Chain A
Amino acid sequence: MNLKRVISIASLLVLACFARGVQAQDDQHGWTGDELLTRGAGRLAEVFRTLHPVESWSNDRYSLRVLGSGLGGLHGSGPTVIVDGLPMPFYLFDRSMLEFIPVTPQEIDSVSFSTDRTILPLGIDADGIIRISTKRPFGWALNSSIGLINETGDPGPAIHQDTTLTNVDRSGPVTNTTLSYRTDSWFAQIGLNTDLYHLTDQEISGRQWLVFGAERQPVVTVFAPSARFVIDKNRVQLTSAGGLIRKKDHQFLEIAGWEWPNRQEWTWVKGEGSLSLSENVTAGMRWSLDDISIVNRDSKIELPGKIDIQDLRGESYVSFRLPAIAIEFAGGYQLHKLHQEGLAPVLDEKTRFGRVSAQMGSGNTTWKNVAQLSSGRSSSLQVTSLLTRVIKRGGRIRIKAGYSSGTREHLNSTLGLVSRGITFADLARDLRYEGNAIDSRELELGLFAVFEMSETSELWLELHMRNMAGLTIPDRIISQPFGIGPLLPQTNWSSGKTGWVFSRGLGLVDRSLPFTTTRLSYQFYHVSSEGDTVFWRHFTGYPRHRLNGSVTIQAPERISIFALASVASKWVWPEYQAPARRVRPASIDIEMTVSKGLFASRMHMAFSFLNLLDRDLGNHPAGVFEQFAMRIKLSTRLTSVNHAR
């Protein structure tokens, strides 16, 4: 450990001694479960799409890349979702799979979002956090829902005039079912989520033909049973969840430029157990196991050999809560195994990490710091600091600073896998990275302020900036319409890239009208590469200006209405060249949902109108155009006890 690292950690601990009183004011934006129920969403991705100012995008209507503040760029890992205290990243090939998170929209109790880059338990590097808490009613509870989306654009009789036209009905049913039981001291739940959708526009059909040598509809299905168990006693607390996910996918790989027909099987277990040793001292353990297997479906072209990934993490911690400070020391171990059929033997990587988290406060001020050191194949240091001050006359200000250095790579990212020898055969034959892991540095500063204008309305302002240096990022130019055939995009990774990303926002939340919540947000996103064209091509493109406005009207026993209008300036994909559609013009997207509780709110029915203005919305050069669509969602909730205590 070098001197700089020792000083960094020591300074955190010394500063802790000056603090008094602890107060948590962590997350910047929040929504209640009842407010989110009015979205009529069948999938978590459909809920997250409506959470402005959380930035997100997708190349189809059913999956979603959540960017959070956007500081990680258009291809960043985005915020980590934490469900009832357990981080659930489900990160693979540069995307967090929201569809794998075992939460159904109707069981959400609240959602909150914080933009901070931080280090979570088990050494998880999070570029922001979306925190979900779920309802846990006492006694028996049975939740179920079914949702369908009918996207417009079927050819109708015109199919006999133009045979290139294809059907575009793309979704359904998506179903969620949970059965739970809760007493004063424990809670148990089993659940099953299923999904089905397909993307069948003309460009995708062309790519399907090249992969399969025949006409094939790219149907995607998900089957995901899960279970959860919680013990909550005076001194002992235990939360554990696990599940199995089977997905038949036509996975669009940005790096390859087309879909990979595969079957993914993901077995997971996550948990935390703690024991209160005294009033102020708690000791515990956290664990996480992910076992991922990816096999190919039949195809004409040669696809990558079967990939197996096992990731096991565990840590022990002890935390002290004193009047002036809460501090936690944690130490853990990560074992990562990777193997591809037909290639070198199993690759084992072992990483040890130690972490200190300190939260201290004085009166209205809270200061939270986390420092983590990791050592394994490579080593890294991460330090984040967050200062929050509550303003006397309503509102609060939080200032954050974060620094990280070393090799901080995600093992399940495309670069992480390719740099360890994974190859993609005909799917992306030129995808190789011969370099070594390279240290990068990152500095982030941010300000978030909330001004309470009255008891029912508040104005918020946020300014974030991140400086990145020494990055290793893809360097590519795609000069085909959508990356097909022998002209696949050629990707090289380029190291030592440097640049800035800025994200600024201004917004209003108002609840002054009865049963009505109004939210307005404006965001300005900006990339400064200082002449580094690779950095610029990879990070820019997201609309610079985004304006969102939403209204939720929700009176008991009445019809609820949710309407959202999103205006975005033009969107540029500089890695793609004409004739690909590299620029999406400025757009307006309006969605509206009408919903009603039935049978004393035991049943809930929602009709949604998506892309109400019937515009061709196509975010990605190789993605689909989202057309006007209708969604119907029906959910039921039966409980043996009438009210949640």
Chain B
Amino acid sequence: MELGWRRWTVQEVILPEFQAFTVLAGWSAQTPPDFAIELHAGIMVGNVLMLLDLENADAGRIESEITAIPFVRFNRNITPALRLFVQLRAARVFTNPRWEFVDSSVGLSVDQKTPSWLKRILR
């Protein structure tokens, strides 16, 4: 699962700038953990809520649409709980016209044991 927030600026004056809040859930396959670098590939699907920079009373200030994001991700363990990752994602937001973009990211991820209350819910 992923929760996200981004601020988008636009080059065309006629379009308003906006903030995008995303809720994603997905599935991925990965190489066995024996390798020095793990490869993950999968797809995430969810919703993008767009909050446009308009006055509160303006119509169409909030827009919402489905998005699908295939991704590949390379992980390298630094410690058993800490990893360095490089990720490439191709996103399609199903607006009319369709809104597509590719993003790349590099970062650190930390593994935490799932709290017991969350385990119960997931089960």
Contacts and interface: CB of A to CB of B under 8 A. Distances in A.
A153 B15 contact: no
A153 B95 contact: yes
B9 to A, nearest CB: 11
B77 to A, nearest CB: 30
Q: How large is the interface on B (under 10, 10 to 19, 20 to 34, 35 or more residues)?
A: 20 to 34
Contact of B16 (A152, A155, A160, A630): A160
B50 A157 contact: yes
B94 A152 contact: yes
B97 A627 contact: no
Contact of B64 (A154, A161, A630): A154
Contacts of B10: 157
B23 interface: no
A214 interface: no
Contact of B95 (A150, A154, A160, A630): A154
A100 B10 CA distance: 48
A161 B14 contact: yes
Contacts of B12: 161
A158 interface: yes
A152 B18 contact: no
A159 B94 contact: no
Contacts of B96: 152-156, 158, 165, 168, 627
Contact of B65 (A156, A161, A614): A156
Given A161-B14, A161-B15, A628-B94, A156 B66 contact: no
B39 interface: no
A167 B51 CA distance: 16
A150 B49 CA distance: 13
Interface residues of A, number: 17
A614 B97 CA distance: 12
A158 B96 CA distance: 8
Contacts of A153: 94-96
B14 A159 contact: no
Contacts of A630: 45, 66
A161 B97 CA distance: 11
A171 to B, nearest CB: 13
Interface string B59-88: 010011110000000000000000000000
Given A150-B66, A628-B66, A156 B14 contact: no
Nearest to B98: A614
Contacts of A154: 63-65, 95-96
Nearest to A629: B66
A152 B15 contact: no
Nearest to B8: A157
Given A150-B66, A159-B60, A161-B14, 11 more contacts: A150-B47, A152-B65, A152-B66, A152-B94, A154-B63, A154-B64, A155-B60, A156-B93, A160-B15, A160-B16, A630-B45
